[in-house]
Structure 1
Amino acid sequence: MNRRTRTALLGSALLLTVAAAAGSAGASDESKREAAALTGKAKLYRTAGDDITFSFDAHLAAKDKADPMKATGTFEWSHYLNGEGAWAKAKVDCLVTGGEVAVVSGVVTDTDLPGAKGTRVGITVHDLSRHDRLGYSWATTEDLGPKDLPKCVGSAPFEKVRKGTGGFTVVPWRPDF
């Protein structure tokens, strides 16, 4: 075998070895990656000047990839106008994401809103970088809605996030169907 052929074969073998190593490293990274996540904080835009903040720290571990109801974490929100309002914190009980959209639900564990503790709520987030949007299960009710709201139910993300505050990150869920 001449020197040129040997050099080309050796170079090809080296490239194949590097590509295989990179591929297996990528596969192991994929298996370690969370199955889904929703994190971040933002304020909603309201022309009346309402101070409305939502924050999320919701995760579905890779080992629980097949069951979004094993998600963990918390989310919280507050809504104030002219010094009056309330806040609440919920423990995550379901997280489903797809592309840039996440639906998270949870049960209110702490709040200063009378009658809200123990209520399940759901929120939908559309992660659009600087133009995130958000919707919540109580959008069409006067209170936080029915206590029997199913897990992972939210409304369409109809609210606009205030300019400069969008900071949601959605890790897409990729179930094995």
Structure 2
Amino acid sequence: MRRISLTALGAALLTTACVAAAPAPAADTAKKPPRTASVHGSARVHYVFSPQDDIRFTVDAVAAPYSRPLPGLPGGLPTDARGTVRFTHHVDSTGETVSAEARVDCLVTGGRTATFTAVVTRSDTGPVGERLGFSVYEGRAGEPDRLGFSWGVANVDPDTPDEKGNPTQPTVGTCMAPAPFAPAVHGGFTVRHTELPPEPKTRASRAPRAPRAPRSN
């Protein structure tokens, strides 16, 4: 709205009133919704140790900060997330196809890269309830997207062998995953990055402090 100088105020009083009464443009009052970190997409990946197999992942992960209460952390974590990971593995040598689904519980992004974890809810092979780690890299023009999965290359603990002397596989913690080592050969992923949100200043879940006991004389 054009400002009116004090010297012209009397002459332009009626015009000023009409302009002030006009509704503000929607663009001035509308607020953009906050960005939310996410990973979406589906791809077949090349796994170097099973180059002939058809391995596919579908990811639908969205950040939901401070939404999953934990013991000792009633307000949750800034990396809390929701969503689903689905994957299938067709073994070329046997013709067998296995699949599984997992519920996303953690997501953290950094530019074009994201790591996230998901707890298995259905599986043809592995145990239900196991947490798995994943990572995604959204490639730039001319390079492939990539995905990593915790059971593919690492996550062993050589310092705590089993009764046969073999290294054990430790539990995957939230958002823990290897680098995205497997290139996508068909399809791809989109990573939307946001900075981790700070802890809310007030939390209804926090218990009030107990009053101090009165001092004895």
1:83-122 matched pairs, under 5 angstroms: 83-113=95-125, 115-122=126-133
Q: Is the CA contact (8 Å cut-off) linking 1:78 and 1:85 kept in structure 2?
A: yes
Percent identity over the alignment is: 37
Q: What letter corresponds to residue 84 of structure 1 in structure 2? A: E
Which of 77, 89, 98 is the matching residue for 1:79?
89
Q: Cα distance 1:119–1:52, how it changes in 2: closer, same or farther (>3 A)?
A: same
Number of corresponding residues: 150
Q: Alpha-carbon deviation of 1:166?
A: 3.1
Q: TM-score, normalised by structure 1?
A: 0.72
Q: Is the CA contact (8 Å cut-off) linking 2:66 and 2:79 kept in structure 1?
A: no
Which of 121, 127, 148 is the matching residue for 2:171?
148
Q: Alpha-carbon deviation of 1:160?
A: 0.9
Q: TM-score, normalised by structure 2?
A: 0.59
Structure 1 unpaired stretches of 5+: 1-20
Q: Is the CA contact (8 Å cut-off) linking 1:120 and 1:147 kept in structure 2?
A: no
Q: Which has more strand, going by share of residues?
A: 1
1:42-57 matched pairs, under 5 angstroms: 42-46=43-47, 48-57=51-60
**Secondary structure of the equivalent of 1:161?**
strand
| RMSD of Structure 2 on Structure 1 (CA) | 3.0
Q: Cα distance 1:112–1:138, how it changes in 2: closer, same or farther (>3 A)?
A: same
- Give the corresponding residue for 1:170: 191
- Give the corresponding residue for 1:131: 144
Q: Is the CA contact (8 Å cut-off) linking 2:154 and 2:178 kept in structure 1?
A: no
Q: Alpha-carbon deviation of 1:49?
A: 2.3
Q: Which has more helix, going by share of residues?
A: 1
